[in-house]
Each structure stands twice: as structure tokens, then as C-alpha cells.
Amino acid sequence: MESHKRLDARHLMKMLGEHLARCSQWSSNAYKPTGTCDEVLGQQRDKVVGWILSLNAEFRFTPETLGLAICLLDRFLNLIKVRPKYLPCVAICCLYIAAKTLEEDEVIPSTKDLVKTIRCVCSVAEILRMEAIILDKLSWNVKQVTAVDLLLIIHGLLMCYYPKLLDGLSNLTPSQHLSMMMRKIFHCLGNHQLAVFSPISLVLSIVSLELEQITPNWFSIVNTVQQVAEVNNQTFFRCREVTGLYLSKHGLLPSGYQFRVIKRSKSIKRKAVDDEEEDLYDGIKRLYSEDAMDTTASVRKSCSSEMVQHQDTDGRNSFLVAAVSAN
């Protein structure tokens, strides 16, 4: 049984290593705040990303699909100088390609139904033509590692090696905690100024800002992941600073966690998932088997009993040992 638990944890570490290796294909996107009418500016990019978010919710696609769609959009805009008038068509095609890559066939709309949903932003013929152009320019390499993918793995690892991490919070399940962090990820992905940072830097920044609010040992935990991810301090702290300022500006920091009160009287319970997060939360719950079994859920359950007696320093050591074993 114990060897099975360690194998599960190593599997997550192996996944993280493989994802980080694939992140080498990532390139920074620097959008201009002002420019000519023939190029996509930062605010125009952010506006269309907001539209992708709403369409993703309307189609009830997964967070992974949304993350991939934004990734494809940035990659394409980094390769091709697109005129702003074509940007909506590019955006919907990126979402459509992401859905075809990650979603089940039964939830993917036909091109005709897609056109009806987007209310004549572009025609069927235009979507088919643009889709072909995007795939050609990306060399049909669409299975990219996104910040969403990395957050799912890292959060799963945190739940494995630090099973008591959320114990001090009132009525907050792992999936609810993950959905709150995911919401912050998408807010950041919607800001072109943060597109200059790699997915792993962005994820580490958000994870560190969250952990800082719930554990005094947040730095040692994040530093462990940082070592595994090989993110240098200068990049990490710069990304964390910009991300923190952006989230604070939009009222997303501090998160307003309600900590448990030792008294027996009823404590005020924070509603961890508001109306904005419901769709996102529904797509995440399966990770921790609150609705259905999933690999990450079984990993957390199998590791929790093994690590529950350990302190944060023990978790850090186990994390590093797993990283070495996975490599």
C-alpha cells in the first residue's frame, strides 16, 4: 500500500517534469498599449479574451479548454500580424480548436451551431478558412502546456504533501480552494501585461500569494516547487509583484479566507464559491472526487494518510525526493 502511495506521488512529479519540459516552447508576448490601426493592441487582446471566457462558459467547456484557447490566441498573435477586424474570428477559432483537442465529441458544437451562438461575428466559411490558417501557422502543434495544466498538477501535489494545508479554513474543500485559484489564473490570463511571464512563473506567483494567507511556511513550500521548476528568483519575484498588484487592484487579494475559531460558537462561514465561480467550480470538482473519481483525487486520498503525521519540513523533503526520483 505504501509503495502504491509513493508511486502515485511520483506519477504527479513525473507529469510536472514532462509539462515543464514542454514549456520550453513558450515564448513571451509583448503587446503594445498604443499603435497603428493595423495591429492588435493590448486592450484589444484583453477584450477578446474576455469574450472567449464568456463563450467558454456558454458552451460549458472545461477550464483546460479555456486555458488552451488563450494560449493558442497568444501564440498565433505572436507569429502573425493580425488586423483588429479579424481578431474575433481568430479568437473563436482558437476556442474551437481547443475544444476539438480536449473536449468530448458530444459537447463540441457543429460549425453551423457555433456561428449561431456567436451571433454572426463570422460565417461558417470564414471560420473554416481561419481555422485552417491558424493550424497551418502553428504547424498543427496545438497541445500546449498552459498555466491551467500546471496549476492542476501543483495543487494536487500540495494536497499530497501538505494534507493539513486547508485544515485551518472554515468549510473550504480542496476543489473550492482550487476553483478560487483558477479564477485568479483566468483574471491574470486576461491581462496582456502578464503575458510576458511564463505559465509556470504565473502559477507559482498565484500559488505563493494564496499560501501566504493561510500558512506561515508558505515561502519554504513555494521555494520547493520553484527549485523543481527551475524558475530563478528574479523572474519569480518580479512576476509575483506584478501579479499581486493586479489582483489587489481588482479586489482579488486578500482572498478573505475565514479561519476556524476554537470556540464552540458558530463561526461566520465564508461562501467560497460565488455565482461567478459556479461554472468553473463544477468543472473542477471531479478532480477531488466530490462528484466523480479522478486520478488527482485518488492521489490525494492515497497520500494524505501517509503524510498526515509530517510537518511542513518533512513535506518539503519528500517533495524534493519525489522530484529527483521522477527525473
Q: Does the structure show a pLDDT above 60 at 280?
A: no
185-213, pLDDT tens digit by residue? 999 999 999 999 999 999 999 999 999 98
What's the confidence (pLDDT) of residue 27?
74
| Separation CA 239–CA 110 (nearest Å) | 39
Q: How far apart are CA 43 and CA 195, in angstroms?
A: 12
Tell me the C-alpha distance between 175 and 289, whole Å. 9
Amino acid at residue number 42: G
- In the block, cell 449561431 appears at 116
225-275 per-position pLDDT tens digit: 888 888 889 999 999 999 999 999 999 887 667 776 544 334 434 444 444
DSSP bridge pairs for 259: 169
CA distance 108 to 112: 11
- 170 pLDDT tier (thresholds 50, 70, 90): confident
Confidence category of residue 39, pLDDT binned at 50, 70, 90: confident
Report d(CA 247, CA 79) in Å as an integer: 29
Given the C-alpha cell 466559411, which residue does it identify? 125
Q: Could you tell me the CA-to-CA distances from 236 to 211, 225, 247, 312 in Å, in that order?
A: 15, 11, 16, 22
The more confident residue out of 244 and 14 is 244
| Residue 257 or residue 126, greater confidence | 126
Q: Which three cell numbers stand for residue 226?
A: 520553484
Give the pLDDT band (50/70/90) at residue 32: confident
Q: Among 26-35, 147-156, 238-247, 310-319, whose mean pLDDT is lowest?
A: 310-319
> Mean of the per-residue pLDDT values for the chain?
79
The pLDDT, as a whole number, for residue 301 is 36
Q: Could you tell me which of 73, 91, 67, 61 has the C-alpha nearest to residue 19?
A: 67
CA–CA gap between residue 6 and residue 297 (Å, rounded): 15
pLDDT of residue 229: 83
3-class state of residue 177 by DSSP:
helix
- Whose cell is 505559465? That residue is 199
Count of helices and strands (H, E) across the chain: 14, 0
All structural domains of the chain, each given as residue ranges with its CATH number in brackets, are 2-13+145-326 (no CATH), 28-137 (1.10.472.10)
Give the position of cell 512576476. 239
pLDDT tens track for 108-119: 999 999 998 887
